[in-house]
Amino acid sequence: LWIVDKDVDNSDSYPQIIEAASILRENETVAFPTETVYGLGANATSDEAVEKIYQAKGRPGDNPLIVHIADYSQLDELVEEIPDTAEKLINAFWPGPLTIILKARKGVLSKRVTAGLNTVGIRMPDHPIAFELIKHAKLPIAAPSANSSGKPSPTMAQHVLEDLNGKIAGIVDGGETGVGVESTVIDCTLKKPVILRPGGITKEQLEEVIGQVAVDPGLINPKDTRPKAPGMKYTHYAPNAPVYLVEGNSNFMQEKINEKRREGLKVGAILTEESAKAIDADVVAVCGTRQHLETTAHALYDALRSFNQSDVDIIFSEVFPLKGIGLAIMNRLEKAAGHRYIIDEHAEK
Ligand code: TXA
Ligand code: MG
């Protein structure tokens, strides 16, 4: 574990970053912070290194990894072509929480990275530690979120330790991540780009730059269609206790909580500051404010994880509008809840 100041330039953290980078060059795995969540990095050109990521996470082999770069010249080495839409998005949002799916150049990356697809997801993270680490490793770095497969993604080094201690070569601890949910994944190999995973860059932001963007129908109605990002079909982000999404006002949520308590269950609740004032549960994870849903995204995974430290039997969560960062929050909550809803049928819509 290396503890590194986020303000890399004005700290004495360089030796630690250089050590972590050299371990990546030895084809070992290192977890590091990005602006979204912690990633588990490995040399994307080495089968041996990439295999260690799948092993440590217990990740299904058909779920491809995102490749992280720190320099635009790396992009040309990795992909066949950069369509117009991709170029516009890169100019607008890199470095940042946007992963772009492009046609992979053959024979450069380990086949384990792309899981047999002829495309590759690439992003340039906006985090000084990630940037310096990739720069010093002088490699494209494959990095999925640094959690055990199925658990909420890590937003603190502590979360990485909980899941992967003993299974990886090291962790660069740079404090809490910023955005708190993963990058948006957009497929730019098609004429009309499609969002495969909502995330840190919103649909609205993308549309300002390239016009109308489609959303993979598998995300909205997951039972009907197979999502195009292989990772989106797996259960994810789930705490040990079952999660239910509650659509209704505070009184309705309180009634549902009270019903379960009368059955003798210990009830957890995921609430914003506003609702937490009005609702009482056995364990409450306060998740930002409804005024700024970015704060909810930031706190979400720690909230989901926190319930595994208490012995709650059931978890209720409030719901959020499907716009802006709300789309990414609801996508993660729906997966955590296995799409289970409790809806107030009497509420006015
Ligand atoms: O914010 C993030 O993106 C974080 C940080 C560490 O960068 N990484 C991350 O990686 O969330 P991961 O592996 O947990 O999620 C990658 C997602 C998966 O749903 C995967 O199926 C999809 O991207 N994906 C990767 N390559 C793809 C490809 N070629 N085509 C379609 N989907 C792809
Ligand atoms: Mg992940």
The pTM of the full predicted model, rounded to 2 decimals, is: 0.95
Ligand 2 centre and the CA of 5: distance in Å? 25
State the pLDDT at residue 85.
97
Sheet holding 341-343, edge to edge: 283-286, 267-271, 314-318, 243-247, 341-343
pLDDT of residue 245: 97
Whether residue 183 has its Cβ less than 6 Å from ligand 1: yes
Asked if residue 98 has its Cβ within 6 Å of ligand 1, the reply is: no
Q: Is the CB of 170 under 6 A from ligand 1?
A: no
Residue 183 known to bind ligand: yes
Pocket of ligand 1 contains residue 154 by CB under 6 Å: no
CA proximity to 143, closest of 238, 34, 299: 34
How far apart, in whole angstroms, are the C-alpha atoms of residue 145 and residue 137?
19
**Residue 331, ligand 1, Cβ within 6 A:** no
From CA 32, how far away is CA 157, in angstroms rounded? 8
- Residue 349 has what pLDDT? 56
Residue 302, pLDDT score: 97
| Residue 68 annotated as lining a ligand binding site | yes
Point out the ligand 1 atom lying closest to the alpha carbon of residue 63. Answer: 21
Distance CA 181, CA 200 (A): 6
Annotation-wise, does 46 bind a ligand? no
Q: What angle do CA 46, 49, 52 make, to 5 degrees?
A: 145
Question: Which ligand gives the minimal distance to the CA of 33?
Answer: 1
Rounded Cα distance, 16 and 60, in Å: 32
Positive or negative: CA dihedral 341, 342, 345, 346 = negative
Q: State how far the Cα of 227 lies from the Cα of 20, in Å rounded to an integer.
A: 35
Distance separating alpha carbons of residues 97 and 101, to the nearest angstrom: 13
Strands (DSSP E) contained in 44-146 are 66-68, 98-103, 119-123, 141-142
Q: What is the Å distance from ligand 1's center to 66 Cα?
A: 5
The bound ligand whose nearest atom lies closest to the alpha carbon of 53 is: 1
64 close to 128: Cβ distance less than 8 angstroms: no
Q: pLDDT means per 10 residues in the chain (349 residues)? A: 74 85 97 98 98 96 96 96 97 98 97 96 97 97 96 96 95 96 97 96 98 86 62 72 96 98 98 98 98 98 94 96 96 93 84
Give the residue among 94, 129, 88 at the shortest CA–CA distance from 213.
88
Q: Which residues surround ligand 2, an ion (CB under 5 A)?
A: 145
Q: Which ligand is nearest to the CA of 36?
A: 1
What DSSP state is assigned to residue 308?
G
Give residue 238's pLDDT: 79
ipTM: 0.99
Q: What is the pLDDT of residue 4?
A: 76
Any atom of ligand 1 within 6 Å of the Cβ of 115: no
